[in-house]
Amino acid sequence: MAVKTEGKGSPRADATHLIDPIAVAIRTRRPQDPAGTGRFIPTDPSPGLDVARNPRVARLLSSRRLQFFMILPNQIIFWLVIGIGLLGAVDPGLNFATAITWYLWFCLVFVMMVVIGRAWCAICPFGGFGEWVQRHTFWNRTTSTIGLGLKMPEKVAQYGFLLSVGTFLLLTWIEEYFNIAGPGNPASTSFMVLGIVASALVFFLVFERRTFCRYLCPLSALVGSVGAMGSVAGFRTRDRNVCLSCQTKECMRGGEDAYGCAWYTWPGSSDSNLSCGLCTECYKACPNDNIGLFIQKPLTSVVAPTRRRADVAWSVAILFGLVVYQQLNALSPFASLDSWLNAHTYFPQYPNPLNYVGTIAGVTLLLVAGAKAFQKTFASPDAVIVEGGRNFNDRTSKFRFYFLPLMYGIIPVVGADYFARQLPKFFLHVPRVVTAIGHLFGHGTTTSKLYNTSLISSSAGIIAVQVAVMVMGTAAAMWASWKIAGRDLAPASVNRRAVQVGAAGFAFVCGAATAVLYVLMNAAS
Amino acid sequence: MTLTELFVNNTPHVTVFVDRCAGCQECVIRCPSGALSMEPTTWTVLADDSACVGCRQCVRTCPFSAISVGGPMLVTERHDPPLHHPVELRGNVDETRVGFATWDEAIAEASRCLECPDPTCVRGCPAHNNIPQFIAAVRDHDLATAHRILSRTTVIPDICSRVCNQSAQCEGSCSWSLAGGEPVAIGRLERFIADQAPVPAPSMTSEAWVEHAGGGMSVGIIGSGPAGIGAAWDLIESGASVTVYEKESTPGGLCMWGMPDFTLPEAVATRPWQQLTAAGVDLRCGIVIQPEDVDRLLDEHDAVVVAHGAGVAIRLPVPGADLEGVVDATQFLQGAKAALEPVGNAQEFLGRLGLAPTNSTGTPFRVLVLGAGNTAMDVARMARRLGLDAMCIDWLDERFALARPDELAEARHEGVEVRFQRTLTTLKGFAGRVDLAELTHTVQEESGRQPKVLTGRHDRLKVNLVVMAMGYRVDPAFAEVLSHVPIRKKATGVSDGQWRASGIMANAASAYANHSPVGELALDREVGLWAAALPVDERLWVVGDALTGPSTVVEAMAQGRRAARAILDAQPSRPGGAERRPSVAKRVLVCHESAGGTTAATATAIAGQLAAFGARVTTLPIAEVGARELAAADVVVVGTWVEGLVVARVHPAKATRKWLEAMPRLGSRPVGIFCTYGVDPKSTLSEMRSAIEAKGGVIAGERAFGPKDREGDAGHLGTGDFVRALVAQLGLEANVAPSSVPWRTLDSVRVVSR
């Protein structure tokens, strides 16, 4: 049947005399096809795992209002958090702001990361609010933006997620200093949330697209790296050849009905869910209906990528240092060390910055030393590392050759560790969320039954769950490390099996050490 | 390494920001020098500095700004032949701009062309000449090929190369210009081709696709300016019978009476009409077509093209504008041109303007020219040739001047004083004749922004003659009859993806282009170009300045050709005339606005049924349908979902309403309308009908499809009656029963939007 459907601007054989002369003059070079190098074979999800093939899902994803309504509930909750934190009950267990933020939200975020990936980013009220202001609309496609629209200078941008790790470390230190997540005074929680909203807004007004989310959001590195365990691959190309021959790249530049990718990600070359904010814009923009929303097996984005990023690896190492610090600070000898340092450095209170930075750096350096030892042990003397570029993410060395895959391999340990660290508060106090909601309407008090109820009240029970989580995380990390080592490290190592065992062992040591710490912490929150 | 080598970076250096580089290859496929490739492991761009020429095309085309280029542009200096300044101006109308004198000069300049894979100059040229290819032909010393390439898109290269403002068009869009350098002298190279060998005359065998397409068709063209030339050229080549009605005694329109010989020699300006009349065009000069005569012409011809231009000079409504000695540019230019001809009488002309043979003070008379565009420059330079002092004033900033930069330089060299950032506030007279002009200072901060008038800063100027040369407008009498033109030539919304991808929209306000956004201007021109292909009424096309208001010679010519091709596609025939059948199958455009996919699926089903009748069907979401798509359709089908409350009011979807409002004229095209609804469509179809009829469309069929239709017998959509009504308009015979086309799924039909 001679029914044709064409994109805008394509030559029309049926308009015999009306030929667009521009098309005749274009002789673009043939794009290089990555198929020859097999570049994307390990990371491309199976076409059958495209949930956007479902007409209902497709309809949903096509709607411009989808993002707005996904963000709206969180937007309402977080503005309530700001208001109620400042004006509500002083008792953090009765205040909706503290109860929902620290007993429920922070735990749920990790569940979302591990299961979906950047699910939080799709519903994040901070980025959402900044984006609404920047685009001066809730959901429409506008052609102008508010703000300066600057690009993150490359000298800074080259460090990628490390900037986000930096802001996360700073925020965590502030949180510890003011005992925000303890939780302490609910107003502190309000100020923290307000601070994030304000800084996000400033960055949205100064920089273009989602520069804040990509580089500076305190949670971005954590969500991105731990989210690699998730089962949502994000928006990817259905047929790479269609993307290669696409003449408009509206998924990147934006089109009639959609904005270009705000995360600087091109579905045509995406090989993990690392930087896909699930914002659906590329899906809406594609003129060829060539973008799908793919699901994948858990850990695929940890194991499969052939290009491992230095910023992600260093982020994993530092984030591991931070979570270990948060475990150690629950131990009484560590508290004594902090007090001793405070006394000698004239710092007023916990946490001592030297102790904070020193511990995180120490754990990170331990990982570095481990990777270095790994390299010394397993590297083949004949292996030659391909020369890299000058950019932070582009440089190559024998150390990086081992360090990067090893850090990717322990992502499940880091994810499990952060999750397990939140469990005591969740198990002990999450029913207080109901009390806090009731308190808003004059019902909940500190004597309410739910206020004094715990999902698991015994330390042994909580420790058992924490250790179980760590066992699962460690097992996942060992499996991932085994796979990664077999594919990435073996070709340049002395013995394939040995390097696999070594990598899995590296993950085991990391996981086992943190599991032991949970036993020693005795379910401290 | 010497100190110079150490400290002076004399080669371009490309930096790829690997964090942002997504490996899309937009830069790789467009790099003119092949300096970019892909790094297979990281799948990011790899740059070879030694191959980079510094044109920055990669910077402009990268969607994520992930690449930068430092260092110089590796291109030789542009070669511009020196201007020919007449030693004695009085009475001299010799051409002042000269072309390349030798092949060596032309080839040297042609060698500066990068032959960009996605040439922005082509988009910048209003006629979309294939510039890289004709320049390559010059480089190859192949004049025949160069002419052949040019003839595909222009029939007046000799005129355009002399009068076009290349700095805001092709040359302003040249990669070198966009990068901040000096563009290839495209205009001069075009002129070199046109001057070296005669421009080929209209030929029935010039292009196979137009041959005989117009056989037996009679087309009347009102006006013989560039738009009329463009339309007549393609129609006569196709075998149509073309009659041109020109009110003046000589053909050529603005090119003849509005351009002095020192800019456009008469021999060049008359060349197209000599060739057209020789090819068989029936040129009827001295015949004034009044607006009310259009209907009569439509009875006489199968199609009529209105190309009467915009010849009414704009007058500034200031106190004293009605004094004696205040004239408009048309009046001055026509008189001056005749006066400066060998048989003309300059003194008699000056006497008619009230300028006595000599000034009582012994100094030359002063002419104040209002405006500093190209027409104003022509007026002032003509005045100099008549022995007068000339001063131009314009309220724009000189950086954003509308005149060609070379024309401005020439005018100043010839002694014309040009004052920018001035506006006329009052003209005062003595004994009923203009004597004094009061000017106020202005300030303009950005290109395209209206200047602000500064109060308190005035100039007083003694003047003997004031010429208003601020431009022209369409004859209001015609505008009353053709109430839908002139159209607003402005591209709105998100610009076309391919245009943005080419890089012309990025950093497109170079100093060379007088800081004008060449990409935006070019896109605006596209609006006029595609609007020219659509008839404003049944069998009536309007082109050139008559369509878009005052514009350029090249745009008018391109619009004329585009209208001619649309006529060849549409094959119109007057009542009682010979019925012609198009050589191609009837083209149906099914456009839809769909929210959940139901309307799109219905559109697809309708498309399938129409295709079963032998039509060539295209389905597109309405967001992708503009004048270009409508121009390529004989029948249009518009479908929408409905929104609103059943208890209150149900509308076509908002996007549909906006689209219908912005839709160009349909020129009596048959239009089918449908909507899909859940409960009750209420007045949806009547609203659509009114909107389409207001745009000149003829409703051929309408239908609302409800839930029951979608559940129809055996999963078939009840579109039969609706499609049959459309088929009747198409004149097609059923070869497949429409009911055999199933609802919802058609293997060969893919809906673009979801």
Ordered domains of chain B (ranges, CATH): 11-70 (3.30.70.20), 318-473 (3.50.50.60), 587-740 (3.40.50.360)
CA gap B14, A205 in Å, rounded: 29
For residue A8, the model assigns a pLDDT of 38
Structure tokens at B519: 């990409």
CA gap A118, A107 in Å, rounded? 15
Question: How many CB atoms neighbour CB A408 within 10 A?
Answer: 26
Instruction: Yes or no: say if A306 and B41 are a contact pair by the CB < 8 Å rule.
Output: yes
Q: Which residue has the tokens 């705000």?
A: A262
Optimal mutation site among B14, B18, B629, interface A, most CBs of chain A within 10 A? B18
- From chain A, pick out residues whose CB is under 8 angstroms from the CB of B19: 154, 157-158, 160, 264, 311, 391, 393
Chain-chain contact of A6 with B19 (C-beta, under 8 angstroms)? no
Residues written for chain B: 754
Distance from C-alpha of A461 to C-alpha of B749, rounded to nearest angstrom:
60
- Cβ contact B128–A391 (<8 Å): no
Rounded to 10°, the helix B266-279/B226-237 angle is 30
Query: With contacts defined as CB-CB under 8 Å, which chain A residues touch B127?
Result: 21
ipTM exceeding 0.95, yes/no: no
Nearest partner of B373 among B393, B344, B359, judged by Cα = B393
Q: Residue B312 has what pLDDT?
A: 84
Give A255 to chain B, closest Cα distance, Å: 7
Model confidence pLDDT, tens digit, residues A461-482: 999 999 999 999 999 999 999 9
The confidence score (pLDDT) of residue B594 equals 86
CB contact (8 A) between residue A63 and residue B595: yes
Which of A18, A253, A269 is the closest to B565 by Cβ? A18
N- to C-terminal Cα separation, chain B: 61
Asked if A361 contacts A320 with a C-beta cutoff of 8 angstroms, the reply is: no
Confidence of residue B713 (pLDDT cuts 50, 70, 90): very low
* Residue of chain B with shortest Cα separation from A260: B63
Q: Is the distance from CB of B701 to CB of B727 less than 8 angstroms?
A: no
Q: Do A307 and B43 touch (CB under 8 A)?
A: yes
Task: Please check whether residue B565 is in contact with residue B234, taking contact to mean a CB–CB distance below 8 angstroms.
Answer: yes
d(CA B125, CA B168): 9
- Position A443: which residue type? H
Question: pLDDT (tens digit, 9 = 90+) per residue, B278-316?
Answer: 999 999 999 999 888 999 999 999 999 999 998 888 888
Distance CA A312, CA A302 (A): 11
Q: Which of B14, B15, B19 to mutate to test the interface with A (most CBs of A within 10 A)?
A: B19
What are the beta bridge partners of residue A4? B618
**Is B496 an 8 Å CB contact of chain A?**
yes
By the 8 A CB rule, do A416 and A390 touch?
no
Secondary structure of residue B590 in the 3-state scheme: strand
Q: What is the pLDDT of residues B399-451, one digit of tens each?
A: 888 888 888 988 999 999 999 999 999 999 988 899 999 999 999 988 778 89
Q: In B, residues 162-191, which contact A (CB 8 Å cutoff)? A: none
Which residues, at least 6 apart from A414, have a Cβ–Cβ distance to it below 8 Å? A225, A226, A316, A319, A320, A323
The whole-number pLDDT of residue A382 equals 86
CA distance B249 to B232: 18
Q: Which of A32, A59, A256 sits opposite B38 (nearest CB)?
A: A32
Measured between CB atoms, which of B40, B628, B754 is closest to A39? B40
Structure tokens at B124: 């910048």
At residue A523, the pLDDT reads 87
Distance CA B27, CA B57 (A): 7
Give the closest of A2, A15, A255 to B569, CB-based: A15
* Helix (H), strand (E) at residue B559: helix B553-570
Contact residues on chain A for B493, CB-CB shorter than 8 A: 143, 256
User: B19 and A391 in contact by Cβ < 8 A?
Assistant: yes
Rounded (5°) CA angle B255-B261-B264: 50
Residue A3 and residue B63: Cβ atoms within 8 Å? no
Identity of the residue in A5, A29, A389 whose CB atom sits nearest the CB atom of B618: A5
CA atoms within 13 A on the CB side of B560: 35
Residue contact A18–B210, C-beta within 8 A: no
Nearest residue in chain A measured CA to CA from B234: A17
Q: Which amino acid, residue A15?
A: A
Largest CA distance in chain A: 87
Q: Which residue has the tokens 């076309």?
A: B496
Contact between chains at B632 and A58 (C-beta distance less than 8 A): no
Average pLDDT of chain B to the nearest whole number? 87
What is the CB neighbour count within 10 angstroms for residue A13? 11
- Assign residue B59 a region: left if phi > 0, alpha if psi is -120 to 50, beta otherwise? alpha
Predicted confidence (pLDDT) at residue A108 exceeds the cutoff of 80: yes
pLDDT band at B206 (very low <50, low <70, confident <90, very high): low
Nearest-neighbour CA in chain A from B2: distance (Å) = 25
Residue A268 has its nearest CB partner, among B24, B42, B209, at B24
- Least confident range from A12-16, A209-213, A428-432, A442-446: namely A12-16
Long-range (24+ apart) CB contacts under 8 A made by A370-374 are: A370/A406, A370/A506, A370/A509, A371/A399, A371/A402, A371/A403, A371/A406, A371/A407, A371/A506, A372/A399, A372/A402, A372/A403, A374/A402, A374/A406, A374/A502, A374/A503, A374/A506
Cα–Cα distance between B238 and B142 in angstroms, integer? 27
3-state secondary structure of B242: strand
Does B596 have pLDDT greater than 80? Answer: no
Distance, CA of B716 to CA of B743 (rounded, Å): 5
The distance of A30 to chain B (nearest Cα, Å) reads 6
Confidence band (pLDDT; 50, 70, 90) for A421?
very high
Interval A154-197: pLDDT, tens: 889 999 999 999 999 999 999 999 999 888 899 999 999 999 99
Asked if B127's CB is within 8 angstroms of A21's CB, the reply is: yes
Give the chain B residue whose CA is nearest to the CA of A261. B64
Inform me whether the pLDDT recorded for B14 exceeds 80: yes
One-letter amino acid for residue B652 of the chain: P
- Residue type at position B738: P
Structure tokens at A333: 């000898």
**pLDDT one-digit tens code per residue, A216-269:** 999 999 999 999 999 999 999 999 999 999 989 999 999 888 999 999 999 999
Q: pLDDT band at residue B83, thresholds of 50, 70 and 90? A: confident
B2 touches chain A (CB under 8 A): no
Return the structure tokens found at B732: 């097609």
CB contact under 8 Å between A158 and B17, yes or no, is yes
CB contact under 8 A, A247 and B584: no
* Phi, psi of A70, rounded to the nearest 5 degrees: -75, -35
CB contacts of A247 in chain B (<8 Å) are: 497-498, 501
| pLDDT score, position A307 | 85
The whole-number average pLDDT for the span B44-71 is 94
Residues A234, A236, A242: CA angle, nearest 5 degrees: 170
The rounded distance, in Å, linking the Cα atoms of A370 and B459 is 82
Overall size of chain A counted in residues: 525
Q: Cβ distance A466 to A423 under 8 Å?
A: yes
Read off the DSSP letter of residue B634: S
- Which B residues, 554 through 583, put their C-beta within 8 Å of a C-beta on chain A? 562, 565-566, 568-569, 583
Confidence check: pLDDT of B643 > 60: yes
The reported pLDDT for the residue numbered A257 is 83
| pTM metric for this prediction | 0.87
**How confident is the model at residue A79, as a pLDDT?**
95
Phi, psi of A223 (to 5 degrees): -65, -40
pLDDT at position B605 is: 86
Q: Are B577 and B219 in contact (CB under 8 A)?
A: no
User: Which residues on A lie below 8 Å from B29 (Cβ)?
Assistant: 28-31
Which whole-number Å values give the CA distances from B399 to B163, B262, B511, in the listed order? 21, 25, 8
DSSP code, position A277: -
Of the pLDDT bands very low, low, confident and very high (cuts 50, 70, 90), residue B740 is very low
Mean of all residue pLDDT scores within chain A:
91
Size of interface A-B (CB pairs under 8 A): 226
Positive or negative CA dihedral for B139, B145, B146, B149?
A: negative
Whether B103 contacts chain A with CB within 8 A: no
Chain A CB contacts of B616 below 8 Å: 2, 4, 14
Distances (CA, A) of B415 to A124, A192, B107, B523: 67, 70, 34, 37
In angstroms, what separates the C-alpha of B712 from chain A's closest C-alpha?
A: 20
Fill in the amino acid letter for B238: S
Mutate to test the interface with A, among B45, B64, B68, B520 (most CBs of A within 10 A): B64
B629 CB near a chain A CB, below 8 Å?
Answer: yes
Chain A residue numbers with beta carbons less than 8 Å from the beta carbon of B34 are 29
3-state secondary structure of B638: strand
Which residue out of B16, B43, B149 would a mutagenesis test of the A interface target, given it has the greatest number of A Cβ atoms within 10 Å?
Answer: B43
pLDDT at A4: 31
